[in-house]
């Protein structure tokens, strides 16, 4: 996300991204005033990328994947997976709060609240398992030489 025009915007909304070489990304920034913001956003992405600007073009060399770099990337993937788990748990909490409120107001019975609560928990467990499976697959891909 790039801080542009007083708001955070995806990088593809402030410039066009291309891949001229296998280990190089370029961002053609449409507004010259945003070049520093694009560079800053890339550096703060915690991906270990060091951009350099050339006029309205920001070049981002991609470092080769050493063993240390691969481990770093698995940690980044793990961080994103944990954010997803937290989001799923927040949805569960909101659903359970809504159920408790509906039961308190007499809109649903205690039995129905219990049954739907179990269903919400099952869905939560299913999606957390999917997240864990995707993380394991991604870690395996990253660590594969």
Read off the pLDDT band of 79 (50, 70, 90).
very high
Residue-level pLDDT at 87 = 96
Q: What is the mean pLDDT of residues 138-142?
A: 92
| Mean pLDDT (the chain, rounded) | 90
Read off the pLDDT band of 126 (50, 70, 90).
very high
* CATH assignment at residue 22: 3.30.1360.40
Task: Provide the phi-psi class of 65: left if phi over 0, else alpha when psi is between -120 and 50, else beta.
Answer: beta
- The angle formed by the CA atoms of residues 89, 94 and 99, to the nearest 5 degrees, is 125
| 136 and 75 within one domain | yes
pTM beyond 0.75, yes or no:
no
Statement: residue 121 has pLDDT above 90: yes
| DSSP notation for 49-80 | ---EEETTEEEEEPPP--HHHHHHHHHHHHHH
* CATH assignment at residue 131: 1.10.132.20
| 74 and 31 within one domain | no
| 76 and 56 within one domain | no
Q: What is the mean pLDDT of residues 3-30?
A: 89
Burial 32-69 (b: 16+ CB within 10 A, else e): eebbebbbebbeeeeeeeebeeeeeebebeeeeeeeee
Of 41, 61, 81, the residue at which a domain comes to its end is 61
Residue-level pLDDT at 145 = 73
Read off the pLDDT band of 96 (50, 70, 90).
very high
Number of domains, the chain: 2
| 6 and 35 within one domain | yes
Check residues 70 and 85 and name the one with the higher pLDDT. 85
Residue-level pLDDT at 114 = 92
Residue-level pLDDT at 138 = 94
Write out the residue range of the structural domain in which residue 49 sits: 2-61
């Amino acid at each position: 996300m790039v801080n542009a025009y007083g708001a955070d915007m995806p990088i593809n909304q402030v410039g066009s991204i291309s891949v001229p070489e296998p280990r190089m990304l370029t961002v053609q920034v449409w507004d010259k005033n945003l070049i520093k913001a694009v560079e800053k956003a890339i550096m703060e992405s915690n991906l270990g990328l060091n951009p350099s600007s050339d006029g309205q073009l920001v070049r981002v060399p991609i470092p080769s994947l050493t063993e240390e770099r691969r481990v770093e990337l698995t940690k980044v993937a793990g961080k994103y997976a944990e954010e997803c788990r937290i989001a799923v748990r927040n949805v569960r909490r909101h659903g359970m709060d809504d159920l408790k409120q509906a039961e308190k107001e007499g809109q649903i019975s205690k039995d129905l609240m219990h049954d739907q609560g179990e269903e919400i928990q099952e869905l939560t467990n299913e999606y957390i398992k999917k997240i864990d499976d995707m993380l394991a697959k991604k870690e395996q891909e990253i660590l594969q030489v």
